[in-house]
Amino acid sequence: MGILGGGAGGVNAAPAVRARALVSCALFPASAERIVRMTVKTRFAPSPTGYLHIGGARTALFSWLYARKHGGSFVLRVEDTDQERSTQESVNAILEGMTWLGLEYDEGPFYQTRRFDRYREVIQRLLDEGKAYKCYCSKERLDALREEQQKRKEKPRYDGKCRDLTEPPSPDAPYVVRFRNPLEGQVVVDDRVHGRVAFSNTELDDLIIARTDGSPTYNLTVVVDDMDMGISHVIRGDDHLNNTPRQVNILHALGVEAPVYAHVPMILGEDGKRLSKRHGAVSVMSYRDEGYLPEAVLNYLVRLGWSHGDQEIFSLDEMIQLFDIDDLNAKASALNVSKLNWLNQQYMKAMDPAHVARHLSWHMGQLGVDPAQGPALEDIVVAQRERSHTLVEMARNSLFFYRMPESYDDKAARKNLKADTRPALEALRAALAAAPEWQRERLHETVTGVAESLDLKLGKVAQPLRVALSGGPVSPPIDETLELLGRDRSLARIDAALQFIDQQGQAAG
RNA sequence: GCUCCCAUCGUCUAGCGGUCCAGGACGCCGCCCUCUCACGGCGGAAACCGGGGUUCAAGUCCCCGUGGGAGCGCCA
């Protein structure tokens, strides 16, 4: 079960959806048809000002899973209205991260900068309908206002000076457009992870929806896009929870229903503090660089804030089938590298070695090794996966299969490559040179044979041999190591070790 | 400062009023296995933030406190 299990997959999800829809029908017969037809559409809407953040990747994963589970679609939208900070490199980096994780989108990427005409149209409509107004207040006045309010220990907000203005102060005075937020009542958000959250309209002010240059702001573009794109479920970080009532008000002013919201908690660093660069791996691609399999990262992320009983390992199909927003935790969760390491190893052990080998190949390349010049990587994977947590670790520990170790591990050499062990190495060299068949079981017999003939325990001959072959105290079982390394390389390394022992002897004498 | 959110082992979590002297996982400790390191197996230490209620019964519901976090931009 688990990792490799294709199994039942998403097919089983369909009846569940239907069952839920039927319940809704019973409660709201009038809207039954609409509910049944409503297709799930989720979105991931990063702003391209950096890399794909691990927290962003998790909300993207949740959105993606939810869409997949319900046979809906997943939209990628690039929120690049801040033209100062948005870059194409960043867009590429985000796309690269999504691709590496395998979170393919069904629609998009849509760029907000290409939809300015549409936003202008909506802003104009709001203006025409009196649901928005022009504000001529200068930045200076606004700054002063804010400062004063803070001094008075009040929540800084716009005072509505231009709200009821009928004439502009001067014919071509510059202005921003503000949304006319309701003065009374409250906005209730039925959040799928936080439950019912009520905000009083008196806490909200008239936010700017168009800047002096006419460009739209975030709260406006989000609302227009979610509306136009038919987003049914907005799954995003809970740092947006406070923006939600404003967005709901704009949506209502536009005459549409708000989508379902699910504000997922943010991810914390290992120290429980807000994730930042100093925590190391914050970008998704750094997880590739550090040797994690995308499947393991996905599994790790899905378990952060979500669970299904005691199950720890989920195949993609299982995730799709079992994931539900209602099972999301409301508490922020801290990253835990040791658990990721464990999971990654579980995946390396359970997945098809050929698949793991493809990833390992990239890491070998990073270390300057051409895997074609040595044992098949698939075999290396099988030999090393039990003693590696990451692909980087696996690659480093496997370097000796592809090139002569530059030096011996100090401690290991002192203990195992010395005059005392020379006879064992010599005997091994002779026996291995004469071995009729270079094959694991035979090699095992050869090594144990040498040990017996010298009346030594296996460890007494295996360990010096290990150091001779690998340069250090750790390697796969000695027979396996020999088999993978091959006869020529093995003999050459024993010779080198014998020579090393002699040199040490001379130096000492 | 104001508003909103959050609170079970170190960490990720189970728990959806009685089955909890709180279960699982990672990590940690011990033992077993063993040619090294591991893997694996077995065992162990380790938590309901505090205080009030509600109830026959509270980790589970309510309130307050405390502690964390987020938002309050012509950023997104």
User: What are the tokens at A423?
Assistant: 């006879």
> What are the pLDDT digits (tens) for A419-478?
999 999 999 999 999 998 999 999 999 999 999 999 999 999 999 999 999 999 999 999
Nucleotides of B under 7 A from a protein CB: 1-8, 10-15, 23-27, 35-40, 68-76
pLDDT (mean) for A196-206: 95
Cis link prior to A405 (omega < 30° from 0)? no
Token output for A397 = 């520990």
* H-state helical runs in A102-215: 116-128, 139-151
* pLDDT of A35 strictly over 70: no
Residues found in chain A = 509
Per-residue pLDDT at A27 exceeds 80: no
What lies within 8 Å, CB to CB, of A209 at 6+ separation is A123, A126, A132, A177, A178, A179, A216, A217, A219, A220, A250
Give the per-residue pLDDT at A226: 97
C-alpha–C-alpha distance, residues A94 and A121, integer Å? 30
Of the two residues A434 and A30, the one the predictor is more confident about is A434
* pLDDT computed for residue A278 by the predictor: 75
User: How do residues A363-399 score in pLDDT, each as one tens digit?
Assistant: 999 999 999 989 999 999 999 999 999 999 999 999 9
- pLDDT at residue A4 above 60? no
Q: Which residue is nearest to nucleotide B16 (CA to C1')?
A: A327
Block residue for tokens 């027979």: A479
**At A268, which helix (H) or strand (E)?**
strand A267-268
Phi and psi torsions of A308, nearest 5°: -135, 90
Active site residue A349: no
- Per the CB < 8 A criterion, the answer to whether A274 and A53 are in contact is no
- The string of pLDDT tens digits covering residues A232-272 is 999 999 999 999 999 999 999 999 999 999 999 999 999 88
Gap from A269 CA to B65 C1', Å: 28
A283 DSSP 8-state letter: B
Closest residue to B75 (CA to C1') is A82
Q: Where are the alpha helices (DSSP H) in A8-53?
A: 13-27, 32-37
Cα–chain center distance at A44:
13
- pTM comes to 0.90
A151, A155, A277, A331: which is the annotated catalytic residue?
Answer: A277
ipTM: 0.95
pLDDT at A250: 98
DSSP A40: P
Q: How many CB atoms lie within 10 A of CB A154?
A: 10
Nucleotide nearest to A139 (CA to C1'): B74
For the stretch A216-227, pLDDT in tens is: 999 999 999 999
Q: Is the pLDDT of residue A273 over 90?
A: no
Q: What confidence tens digit (pLDDT) does each residue in A400-422 have? A: 999 999 999 999 999 999 999 99
